[in-house]
Chains A and B, each alone.
Chain A
Amino acid sequence: GAGVSQSPSNKVTEKGKDVELRCDPISGHTALYWYRQSLGQGLEFLIYFQGNSAPDKSGLPSDRFSAERTGGSVSTLTIQRTQQEDSAVYLCASSLERGLVIGQFFGPGTRLTVL
């Protein structure tokens, strides 16, 4: 498809387990963002990739969170030793540059539930 895709759409895990969330951005988009959204709330910035530059990790809430972007395309967000407070929807977005004018294009999100 032409849009941003994310997998899985839903993930239920037990406290203490590791999870990996995947994002396939729009082809040609150099910028990729990960956000976290609690139920009905706004977006919490997690991490930003731009081309071959070092990622902006300033939004990662703890060292249990990490992300990679391989080959400037697909990205994986990993959460180690999951906690119940990690339960949220994780959204990925891509854009040309930073999307300050043309906007960011979002995937449908991965709903993570930590039991």
Chain B
Amino acid sequence: TQLLEQSPQFLSIQEGENLTVYCNSSSVFSSLQWYRQEPGEGPVLLVTVVTGGEVKKLKRLTFQFGDARKDSSLHITAAQPGDTGLYLCAGGGGKDSNYQLIWGAGTKLIIKP
């Protein structure tokens, strides 16, 4: 069974600080996606990474896919209150998972002004 573990589960920091959220597994994934979900809404895709070692940047957000495609990180520079939300990672599963997305449990991020 493919599993994704996210850490930390909860993070509350001051505006302007940097932070990193991790998504780890012992399994290899074909792709890795990061979503952000705000209260009362569904998750919204931020990025997909597909190549081991790939780094993508989205303004102040930097996403990295591990070389072995088993883990990923999301780094936010100079966090803003608008970054507050639930961050979810999801990995593209293999045959054993019926080629479905495998979801992490999420990191709840609060940025205090």
Interface residues of A, Cβ cutoff 8 Å to B: 4, 40-43, 45, 48, 56, 58, 91, 93, 98-109
Contact = CB atoms under 8 A, between A and B. Distances in A.
Pairs of residues from A and B, 9 with the lowest C-beta to C-beta distance, nearest first:
A106-B42, A103-B45, A100-B92, A42-B105, A42-B106, A43-B103, A100-B31, A106-B43, A91-B42
A56 B40 CA distance: 27
B48 interface: yes
Chain B, interface residues (CB within 8 Å), range: 20 to 34
> What secondary structure prevails in chain A residues at the interface with B?
loop
Contact of A99 (B44, B50, B86, B101): B101
A104 B37 CA distance: 13
A41 B86 CA distance: 9
Nearest to B40: A108
19 contacts: A42-B88, A42-B103, A42-B106, A43-B88, A48-B98, A98-B92, A101-B31, A101-B92, A103-B33, A103-B45, A104-B101, A105-B45, A106-B41, A106-B43, A106-B44, A107-B42, A108-B41, A108-B42, A109-B42
B108 interface: yes
Contacts of B35: 103
Nearest to B39: A40
B42 A101 contact: no
Contacts of A43: 43, 88, 103
A58 B101 contact: no
Contact of B99 (A4, A91, A100): A100
